[in-house]
Amino acid sequence: MMISKKMSASLNEQIGNELGAAMQYMAMGNHFAAESLPMFAAHFYKQGDEEREHALKISKFVLDTGGRVEIPAISAPKNSFKCAEEAVQQALDWEKTVTKQINELIAQAVKENDYTTQNFLAWFTTEQVEEVSSMENLLAMVKRAGEAGLFHVEGYLARQGK
Ligand SMILES: [Fe+2]
Ligand SMILES: [Fe+2]
């Protein structure tokens, strides 16, 4: 095995976190679809797909380094939201939490002199900058538009092709 058992266990935990995010974003997509906001729905479904890809990416790394993948239990996502702002705020909070989780994984890899995992996780740090930034943007737009003006944000998302 190229990485420690402890590192492998932490990465397995992160696979669960990414899959939890995938389910949460899917639930948000469902919420927006039910609210007749199809571009918001498409945006969150796509985010969910990306989180699943993150889980797969980590799975592949664990397997490539000689570890085993054991997907942990994942708690149910939040399925209903009072308004678009609440959902997008929660998505932003989630991305900030994931950024911390990635930083903690890197801190562990540094402590173990594990350059293999540090190098692998570098991609995720770059990805988190993008994810936090785009969610902050979306939240600012939702706040500015207000619930009655969400139609304008739909237009923006449609133009972005997201
Ligand atoms: Fe992710
Ligand atoms: Fe994310």
CA of 25 to the centre of ligand 1 (A): 11
pLDDT at residue 162 above 70?
Answer: no
Q: What is the mean pLDDT of residues 30-41?
A: 98
Cα 98 to ligand 1 centre (Å): 7
Q: Specify the pLDDT at position 68.
A: 96
The alpha carbon of 100 and the centre of ligand 2 are apart by a number of angstroms equal to 12
All domains of the chain, ordered by start, with CATH?
Answer: 5-160 (1.20.1260.10)
pLDDT at 161 over 80: no
The Cα angle at residue 26 between residues 125 and 119, in degrees rounded to 5: 20
- Integer Cα distance of 101 and 107 in angstroms: 10
Percent of the chain beyond pLDDT 90?
A: 98
Q: What distance in Å separates the CA atoms of residue 87 and residue 66, rounded to the nearest whole number?
A: 38
Per-residue pLDDT tens for 50-105? 999 999 999 999 999 999 999 999 999 999 999 999 999 999 999 999 999 999 99
Q: Which residues surround ligand 1, an ion (CB under 5 A)?
A: 18, 51, 54
Q: Whole-angstrom Cα distance, residue 121 to residue 47?
A: 19
| pTM of the full structure | 0.95
